[in-house]
Amino acid sequence: MLPLEGITVISLEQAVAAPFATRQLADLGARVIKVERPEVGDFARSYDETVKGMSSHFVWLNRSKESITLNLKDERARDILEKLLKRADIFVQNLAPGAAQRLGFGAEALRERHPSLIVCSISGYGSSGPYRDKKAYDLLVQCEAGLVSITGTPDTPSKVGISVADIAAGMYAYSSILAALFRRERTGEGASLEVSMLEALGEWMGYPLYYTLYGGEPPQRTGARHAAIAPYGPFVCGDGKTVFLGIQNEREWERFCEAVLERPELARDPRFESNSRRVANQKELGAVIEGVFGRLSSEGAISRLDRARIANARLRDVGEFIEHPQLAARGRWAEVGSPVGALRALSPPVDGLGASLGPIPEVGEHTEAILRELGCGPEALEELRRGGAV
C-alpha cells in the first residue's frame, strides 16, 4: 500500500509550484485531479515541444494525475468543483492573487463549508502586504530574494538555471500538506495553509542572509567557487577538463597538501594556514593548485583526490548526468506513459515508501469519467460541453 492511497487531491494549478507539490503527492499514491482550462489546459503545456511534441516542464510535473477541464466562469462548472471538493481531502491552488476568493474557493469560505479540508494556497508574495497583487515569476522572485545578486561571476549576476523559487514553494507546500494530514488524523481538523515563493526561497537564503546581517556585507559573486570556503570549486586539469573539489576542515587541507599536491609545506604557509586566509588569498591558492593539476589528467587528479578522501566531482553536462553510472547502478530510471508513448523518468528520490508512476494526462482526458462519478449522465455532459462549462 502506498502511503497516500485513499487520499484525494483537487488542484486548481498551473505552471510549476503547485504542480510540483501535487505530483509528489501523486507519487505517494494520492489521487490528484488536476483542474484545467477547457481546450488549452495548464499554460505550462505549451512552454516548449521538446518531449516528442510535449512540454518538458509539463512532462516533469504532471505524471499520475487525472485531468478535468472546467470553465470556472460558468456557475455549472463551479458547482462541479464544489461537488469534487465535498469528496476531497486536499485542495491546492496557485491562481493569480485573489482569483480563488472571487470564484468562491478562498480558504476561509472553503473551510466553513468543509471543516476537515486541507486548503493550500501558493502565491508569489503572500496574501497581504504591498506586493500581494504583484505578478511573480520564478526569475523575478529570485531577484527580489537577493539570490541573483549573489549568483554568477563578479561581472555578471545570474539566475539559477532551474525554477528554484517555484521548487522551494512546491516543496514547502508538499511538506506542510503532509504535516496537516498527520494532524488531521489525530484531531479531525483541516487546515488553511499559505506558502509564498518569496518566503520559501528566503528560507533557502539563510546562509547569505546571516552572513550579510552580521558581517555587514553580502557574499561576493564568485562564479562556481565558494564565497566563504577555500579551496572549494573548479580547477582545470592538463587535459582541459574541469574537476571540482571541496575542503571542509584543516585535517582535509593538510591531507590535500600532502597527498594530492605533494607539497606538505603548504599546509603551514602563512597565506593558507586557515580557511579565512585561504579565502583572502584565493588567487594565489588557485594558481598553486592549477600548477599541479595542469600536469595531471582529470582522471589522474580525481584518482589522487579519491585516495586522499577529498570530496570531488567531474563537471558533467546534462547529457552526461542522464548517463551517470550511479543512476544506472541504482536502477533510478523508470518509464511513464503519455499521450506520445512511453517516456523515461527518474524515480522519486526516496526509497522505502514505494511510488506511483502513472501516465501524463491529455487536457481533459478524465473529464467524462469524473463527471460520471458525480452522477452526470450523457445528455447532461453533452449540455455542459455545448455550453462551454467543461
Dump pLDDT digits (tens) for 36-87.
Answer: 999 999 999 999 999 999 999 999 999 999 999 999 999 999 999 999 999 9
Same domain, 58 and 84: yes
Domain's final residue, options 315, 346, 364: 315
Q: How confident is the model at residue 96 (pLDDT cuts 50, 70, 90)?
A: confident
Residues 82 and 376: beta-carbon distance below 8 Å: no
Same domain, 271 and 333: no
Q: What is the mean pLDDT of residues 341-360?
A: 93
Is residue 217 one of the residues assigned to a domain?
no
Residues 158 and 164: beta-carbon distance below 8 Å: no
Same domain, 69 and 184: yes
Is residue 382 one of the residues assigned to a domain?
yes
pLDDT digits (tens, 9 = 90+) for 281-330: 999 999 999 999 999 999 999 999 999 999 999 999 999 999 999 999 99
Same domain, 189 and 64: yes
Output the domain CATH number for residue 134: 3.40.50.10540
- Integer Cα distance of 332 and 348 in angstroms: 8
Same domain, 194 and 147: yes
* The three three-digit cell numbers of residue 360, written as one number: 501524463
Is residue 212 one of the residues assigned to a domain?
no
Same domain, 132 and 260: no
Is residue 226 one of the residues assigned to a domain?
no
Domain holding 250, by residue range, is 232-315
Query: Looking at the 3D structure of the chain, how many domains does it have?
Result: 2
The reported pLDDT for the residue numbered 371 is: 95
| Predicted confidence (pLDDT) at residue 30 exceeds the cutoff of 90 | yes
Same domain, 254 and 111: no
Tell me the pLDDT of the chain averaged across its residues: 95
* The three three-digit cell numbers of residue 79, written as one number: 458547482
Same domain, 116 and 237: no
Could you confirm whether 324 is annotated as catalytic? no
Residues 6+ apart with CB under 8 A from 205: 145, 146, 147
Is residue 323 one of the residues assigned to a domain?
no
Same domain, 35 and 168: yes
Same domain, 67 and 184: yes
Report long-range pairs for 94-98 (Cβ below 8 Å, ≥24 apart).
Answer: 94/12, 94/13, 94/14, 94/15, 94/17, 94/18, 94/121, 94/122, 94/123, 95/12, 95/14, 96/135, 97/123, 97/124, 97/127, 97/132, 97/133, 98/133
**Whether the model pTM is above 0.85:** yes
Domain's final residue, options 315, 345, 369: 315
| Predicted confidence (pLDDT) at residue 222 exceeds the cutoff of 90 | no
Domain's final residue, options 263, 287, 315: 315
Same domain, 128 and 266: no
Output the domain CATH number for residue 271: 3.30.1540.10
